Amino acid sequence: ELKVEQNPLFLSMQEGKNYTIYCNYSTTSDRLYWYRQDPGKSLESLFVLLSNGAVKQEGRLMASLDTKARLSTLHITAAVHDLSATYFCAVARGNTPLVFGKGTRLSVIA
Amino acid sequence: EPEVTQTPSHQVTQMGQEVILRCVPISNHLYFYWYRQILGQKVEFLVSFYNNEISEKSEIFDDQFSVERPDGSNFTLKIRSTKLEDSAMYFCASSEGAGAYNEQFFGPGTRLTVL
């Protein structure tokens, strides 16, 4: 059974600081997704990671994938308040449904 | 840009009542999904649907749930007799094809509140 673990589940960080969110998964995967969710809103796709060593960046967010370690990271650089949201990773494998992590609730404070 | 739409955005119902949640997937997509997110928790898969049949369902998707594509555009989730624990955000998603290499696009969600 595919399991996805995220940590931390809650993260309070100061503006301007850097931090990393981790996503571990239990079996091989074909794709890994990172989503952002604002309170009461839908899932906004941030990154799709396909292969080992993949790195993608958008603004202050950078995602990477290590398939050997079954680990993806979402790195936040110089956080700003607008990044406050819940971030989910989700793993896709074969024809099985997407499996989501529990999410990391990020709060960026001044 | 094409998007998945869902109606209503918020549904309040009494326990034991039937509800139907509606979704319009992206027009050229063939695979449709429902997910559920209880407040503050992770997103959980309910069911996938292709070619007018359920292709996969989770343990959550019991006999109280059903899905249908009544016409060429809508995809519905029906809960026959709602329970308090059905209160959640329900997301519809669609994809062009099946499997990991076809990205699923999510709708804005319907917040279901069961009183």
**Residue-wise pLDDT tens digits, A38-59:** 988 889 999 999 888 899 999 9
**Contact B7/B22 with Cβ under 8 angstroms?**
yes
Mean pLDDT of B22-35: 95
Nearest CB to B108; choose among A42, A92, A97: A42
pLDDT given for residue B95 in this prediction: 93
Q: What is the pLDDT of residues A1-41, one digit of tens each?
A: 889 999 999 999 999 999 999 999 998 888 999 999 998 88
Provide CB contacts within 8 A for A69, sequence distance 6+: none
Question: Residue range B23-50: average pLDDT?
Answer: 94
Tell me whether B39 touches chain A (CB under 8 Å).
no
For chains A and B, CB pairs below 8 A equal: 56
Between the alpha carbon of residue A18 and those of residues A33, A75, A78, A103, the distances in Å are 21, 7, 5, 18
Q: Is residue B103 less than 8 Å (CB to CB) from chain A?
A: yes
